[in-house]
Structure 1
Amino acid sequence: MIHVQGLEFGYKRSRKVFRGLGLELGQGSITGLLGRNGEGKTTLLKLLTGQLLRQSGQLEVLGHDPKRRQVPFLQQVYLLPEEVAVPSISIAKFFEVNGAFYPNYDAAMGSELLQIFSLSPEMNLKKISQGQKKKALIAFALALRVPLLLMDEPTNGLDIPSKSEFRRVLAQYTSDEQTIIISTHQVRDLEQIIDSVLVLEQGAIICQATVSEVASRLRFAPVQPGETTQPLYTEQSPLGLLGVFARGEDEEAEDFSMELFFNALLAARPAVLSALQSQDLTK
């Protein structure tokens, strides 16, 4: 599905965003792309779709070189950016005009998704609220039914009920054959729907793992009084002190916390990566 080797890219010669980036990602997963602001999440998504052109290295997506921007490739991939400039037309017209470029576009699915999001097809995209516009564009992206769907901060601008609707439609209206990559810094919004994570740090992927793999090596739990096991990382929360622990063989897995995992990677990277190392979850 996605093969990246030795990828190099920079907006300026003096500063490379990626220097020798490598990535292998197969078909049929919902992956959360995590990283601090400025680490290159949006840049990577644009490179994968051919909106930016790599400077060196190998990049293959769906059997195509995105740099060539061939029509058979562009029909199979869609990037929903964080901000979209929309024309002053109805949602229905936007779907009709732009959906025609994608052979798998499902107009009936688009209509169903608009109903779920409480949007009328006759609404003018230019005149609705930012949150309504975001929901309309999410509906359009899902209705395209492309093999590779990329979303950049899709929950920005959504209220709490709309974020719940987003998680529900993503689970219901995507197929097992689709590969979906979602870049976000609002990690709690994706916690219940992703099945793997990619973490970018200093132009490299420092961790690539499924949620089940991380849960098999790490335990996410409150730090109990008199705790004998030293946590790898702790943070204070309204519920008390939370910790990330290396999970023992006899310990039951706790619920995975993507936010806690990401914060632990940033603050205690060597310890967390060491705990994951035995399953080769680091890059």
Structure 2
Amino acid sequence: MVEIKDLYFTYPNYQTVLENITFSVPTGQIVAVLGANGAGKTTLLKLIAGLLVPDGDVKVRIDGKTPQKISGKIAFISEAGTYFNDLTPKTYGAFLQDFFPTFDKAYFDMLLDFFQLQERPMKKMSKGQKAKVEIAAGMAKRTPYIIMDEPFVGKDMFTRQDFMQALSGTLTGEETIFITTHEIREIENFVDRVIILKENHIAIDITLDVLRQEGKTIQELMKEVIGYEENSFYSLLDKTEDSI
């Protein structure tokens, strides 16, 4: 279980990104952390992963411990990547196998084949190809906690679809997953719960069952929460015409 209580986080430049964040996630739940750019999504995921430390006392606990004390049980998958550019995907996998006791090399190789990745140094790969290696490596760690920060960056529509199918088909159901993405439609039928951040706070925390009972999609909910106006570009066009 992940427990977060009264969490605050401020960067060294005194910019407060998160305030009074409180929620808990039971084992096996898949949670989408959403919000506009700058809402604090990546910061929250890094705090859960133990890559950042919250302000004040301990505010994040996973199975009763700080994330730093159970780092081996957490896989953080980011668009930034943790690979070594001079290594090929399979040599990178061999490296990870030496450091992570639970690393599933056969599963990693299967994902590399699934993503049709060639065996060449990662510095010669495109951004999308590197992201696929990062996803394969993160999933192959077989950790109970998986945190994915924009896993679809650089991937075309078909690759995103294939990845979601592969992910759904290989999970045991015991994994607790956090995912943030702008590709909301891709996760509509994958997540159990949605947390939307706005102005440093949690604006809404809702399960997909309740959302469906209200007859809404995640995308519609996002538009409501962030105040998106569907036809706002018309006013921009009017102002442009007036200025001509």
Q: Same fold (TM over 0.5)?
A: yes
Structure 1 portions without partners, runs of 5+: 221-256, 269-283
- Give matches, 1:1-283, under 5 Å: 1-12=1-12, 14-57=14-57, 58-66=59-67, 69-70=68-69, 73-84=70-81, 86-120=84-118, 122-216=119-213, 218-220=214-216, 257-267=217-227
The one-letter amino acid paired with 1:267 is: G
Higher relative contact order (CA closer than 8 Å, sequence separation 6+): 2
Structure 1 residues 195 and 87: alpha-carbon distance in aligned structure 2, compared to 1, 3 A threshold: same
Q: State the match for 1:249 in structure 2.
A: none
TM-score computed with the length of structure 2 as normaliser: 0.87
DSSP-derived class of the 2:215 partner: strand
Deviation (angstroms), 1:7: 1.0
Deviation (angstroms), 1:17: 1.3
Deviation (angstroms), 1:14: 4.0
Query: Is the 8 Å Cα contact of residues 40 and 200 (structure 1) preserved in structure 2?
Result: yes
Deviation (angstroms), 1:29: 1.9
The one-letter amino acid paired with 1:59 is: V
139-148 vs 185-194, which deviates more? 185-194
CA distance in 1, matches of 2:12, 2:112: 41
Deviation (angstroms), 1:136: 1.5
DSSP-derived class of the 1:111 partner: helix
Query: Is the 8 Å Cα contact of residues 33 and 41 (structure 1) preserved in structure 2?
Result: yes
DSSP-derived class of the 1:146 partner: coil
CA distance in 2, matches of 1:14, 1:160: 39
The one-letter amino acid paired with 2:27 is: Q
Query: Is the 8 Å Cα contact of residues 76 and 102 (structure 1) preserved in structure 2?
Result: no
CA distance in 2, matches of 1:117, 1:265: 35
Structure 1 residues 100 and 207: alpha-carbon distance in aligned structure 2, compared to 1, 3 A threshold: farther
DSSP-derived class of the 1:162 partner: helix
CA distance in 2, matches of 1:64, 1:101: 22
CA distance in 2, matches of 1:140, 1:89: 13
TM-score computed with the length of structure 1 as normaliser: 0.75
More helix per residue: 2
Q: Which runs of 4+ in 1 moved over 4 A?
A: none
CA distance in 2, matches of 1:99, 1:262: 40
Deviation (angstroms), 1:97: 0.8
The one-letter amino acid paired with 2:109 is: S
CA distance in 2, matches of 1:117, 1:130: 14
Query: Is the 8 Å Cα contact of residues 203 and 225 (structure 2) preserved in structure 1?
Result: no
**Aligned pairs, how many?**
226
Query: Is the 8 Å Cα contact of residues 75 and 139 (structure 2) preserved in structure 1?
Result: no
Query: Is the 8 Å Cα contact of residues 142 and 174 (structure 1) preserved in structure 2?
Result: no
CA distance in 2, matches of 1:87, 1:184: 25
Q: State the match for 2:234 in structure 1.
A: none
1:215-261 CA distances to partner (integer Å, 9 max, x unpaired)? Answer: 11x124xxxxxxxxxxxxxxxxxxxxxxxxxxxxxxxxxxxx22122
DSSP-derived class of the 1:95 partner: helix
DSSP-derived class of the 2:111 partner: helix
